[in-house]
Amino acid sequence: MNIFDIKGKTVLITGASRGIGKNLALGLRDAGAIVYGAGSRPESIEWMSGEGIQGVVLNVKSESDAFQVIGKIRETHGKLNTLINNAGIATNTPASGFKEEELQNIIQTNYTGVFRSCQAYYKHHKKDGGNIINVASVLGLVGSKLASVYSGTKGAVISLSKALAIEWCNSGYRVNVICPGLIDTEMTDMIKNKEYIMNQVLAGIPMGRLGKPEEILGAVQYLVSDASSYMTGQTIVIDGGLTAQ
């Protein structure tokens, strides 16, 4: 028996159009899961149809998208086994320079969106239980320049996950968090594009390099699988040693 087996499990990943989410979608598909990959726009999910991934439009800022998408997955498969809340945005705006619109955009996407998806999943499955994996960040654990609101939303996702783990434990839900460090995706272009900033960043990472999106997959597969059946309310950090210092 392979305790990490996830064959036939239904998984919905938000923000699966590119980066970490795309890599998770492909990796979990390869491991035999039935993967629903969500993007914010129809163009974001076009690539999925030829790759054995069910593409769905789910803008996490919408009040109803998550509820509708999860409802349809339940109708089709009887159950959504795992919800992975991965969609997120970042900026490098100084705290003193935030305008209201940008502030609300990050909070709505990174925090409110995660809460809404969790709530929608619970409403559809409260009698069956479920498994939630929220993608936060090491910047939800430690401070950093030019990351104030982003850090706040990611810290809030970690706290939210602990609270939901307790509140929904008796309903058969597990809620855990993945905290990536700096990963080589479009999100980190703003760092990679400036050599002096990149050098500073690399100097702060004991392994001396950015992580690759595929280095997030193993921990996520563990959380999707029954190998993690006694784990809830916890955070797995994957950061090349950044927060170990």
Ligand X SMILES: NC(=O)c1ccc[n+]([C@@H]2O[C@H](COP(=O)([O-])OP(=O)(O)OC[C@H]3O[C@@H](n4cnc5c(N)ncnc54)[C@H](OP(=O)(O)O)[C@@H]3O)[C@@H](O)[C@H]2O)c1
In the bound complex, what is the minimum distance in angstroms from residue 178's beta carbon to ligand X?
8
d(CA 215, CA 146): 25
> Of 36, 111, 122, 150, which residue is the catalytic one?
150
121 carries an active-site annotation:
no
Least distance between ligand X and beta carbon 135 (Å): 5
Q: Are 233 and 223 in contact (CB under 8 A)?
A: no
Q: Give whichever of 19 and 155 is closer to ligand X, judged by the CB atom.
A: 19
The answer to whether 38 and 57 are in contact (CB under 8 A) is: yes
Closest distance of CB 17 from ligand X, Å: 4
Which of 169, 191 has the CB closer to ligand X?
191
Q: How far is the CB of 91 from ligand X (least distance, A)?
A: 11
Q: How many CA atoms lie within 13 A of 202 on its CB side?
A: 12
H or E segment at 132? strand 130-135
Considering the complex, what minimum distance in angstroms separates the CB of residue 41 from ligand X? Answer: 5
Give buried/exposed letters for 105-129 (b at 16+ CB in 10 A, else e): ebbbbbbbbbbbbbebbbebbeeeb
CA distances from 17 to 54, 148, 176, 219, 229 (A): 12, 26, 22, 20, 29
Interface residues with ligand X (CB under 6 A)? 14-15, 17-21, 39-41, 44, 59-61, 86-90, 109, 135, 137, 180, 182-183, 185-188
SS3 of residue 13 by DSSP? strand
CA of 78: how far to CAs of 87, 116, 127, 226, in Å? 25, 21, 12, 19
Which SS3 state, helix, strand or coil, does residue 224 take? Answer: helix
- Return the half-sphere exposure (C-beta side, CA atoms, 13 A cut-off) of residue 87: 33
Residue 7 or 212: which CB sits closer to ligand X? Answer: 212
Active site residues: 150
